[in-house]
Amino acid sequence: MKTQRLIDMHVHTDNSPDGVHSPMYVCENAVKNNLGAIAFTDHCEVDTYYKDKYNSMVFHSYFECSKARAAFRGQLLVLLGLEIGQPLSVPELADKIVSEKSYDFILGSIHTPKGFGGMDIKEIEYDKIDVYKFMSEYFSELSEIASWKGCDCLSHITAPMRRIEGKYHMNFDYSLIQNDVDNLLKEVIRNGKAIEINTSGLRQPIGKTMPDETLIKRYRELGGTKITVGSDAHTAQDVGKGITDGIKLAKKCGFQKLTFYVKREPIEVEIII
Ligand SMILES: [Zn+2]
Ligand SMILES: [Zn+2]
């Protein structure tokens, strides 16, 4: 009987400001958790690249993760990547960062949306703003990143929901901004990019993946084919968490294949669970 090869395409190490464990220790846990492959995607926030010393963290991430890759060869496929936040805040810098090293996989993210003075999506007081207007602008900012050649996949496209639904307990109805949702998903498809099923929400009060079933189904309906699954682990213990649930959800939404990336080229794996 064939078993599903579990691949976690979003993992942080202690080379991210909020990451806890070394690449070696993360790999050890990944093997223990029966993973076949992981992608290290440490943070790189382009808007505060020098101020917050991402230049040094990105360098060390690549160096340390390469060592872990060599040490675990034959046991675990280790992919080298980055999670680039706000790449279009300084596009020429973002282009330089992703082309400087031989990366396997680049995630594009927004953590500090435009118009909030650098405030993180975790800190915004959603009960004091128009959340529909906010999400409409957030999706439009993400669709610009979808057309940026430097990334392969958009990460956690509904990340603000962690707070909007998980903390402020507001029910968000995507159909009220259906045009914005569709524009984003179509832009992803048109540019040949992937979207990520981020399973970190399953370990948090929101209790569901980002995006959730509604948007994953819509992406499939519109013709989306490339989908990755990532735990967004910031500790070794969380590596691989929720990956099986994410794969099952992809299948439920009509996907027959998952995508992972080697040297920035998409590779498809059949879903067999
Ligand atoms: Zn992120
Ligand atoms: Zn992340």
Q: Is residue 153 part of a domain?
A: yes
Q: Is residue 2 part of a domain?
A: no
Those residues whose C-beta lies under 8 Å from the C-beta of residue 89, and which sit 6 or more positions away, are 46, 47
Distance 232 CA to ligand 2 centre (A): 5
Distance 109 CA to ligand 1 centre (A): 6
Q: What is the pLDDT of residues 200-231, one digit of tens each?
A: 999 999 999 999 999 999 999 999 999 999 99
Q: What is the pLDDT of residue 239?
A: 98
Residue range of the domain that includes 49: 7-270
Distance 230 CA to ligand 1 centre (A): 11
Q: Is residue 1 part of a domain?
A: no
Distance 155 CA to ligand 2 centre (A): 8
Distance 87 CA to ligand 2 centre (A): 14
Q: Is residue 164 part of a domain?
A: yes
Ligand nearest to the CA of 156: 1
Of the candidates 194, 191, 184, 90, the residue with the CA atom closest to the CA atom of residue 139: 184
Please report, for residues 1, 100, 114, the alpha-carbon distance to residue 88 in angstroms, rounded to integers and kept in the order given.
46, 17, 11
Q: What is the pLDDT of residues 19-73, one digit of tens each?
A: 999 999 999 999 999 999 999 999 999 999 999 999 999 999 999 999 999 999 9
Q: What is the pTM of this model?
A: 0.97
Question: Total domain count for the chain?
Answer: 1
Inter-residue contact 260 to 151 (CB < 8 Å):
no
Ligand nearest to the CA of 45: 1
Q: Is residue 260 part of a domain?
A: yes
Q: Is residue 49 part of a domain?
A: yes
Q: Is residue 201 part of a domain?
A: yes
CATH of the domain at 67: 3.20.20.140
Q: Is residue 84 part of a domain?
A: yes
Those residues whose C-beta lies under 8 Å from the C-beta of residue 39, and which sit 6 or more positions away, are 7, 8, 9, 10, 11, 79, 80, 81, 104, 105, 230, 260, 261
Given a cut of 80, is residue 184 above it in pLDDT?
yes
Q: Name residue 89's amino acid.
A: S
Q: What is the pLDDT of residue 255?
A: 98
Distance 12 CA to ligand 1 centre (A): 10
Q: What is the pLDDT of residue 3?
A: 87
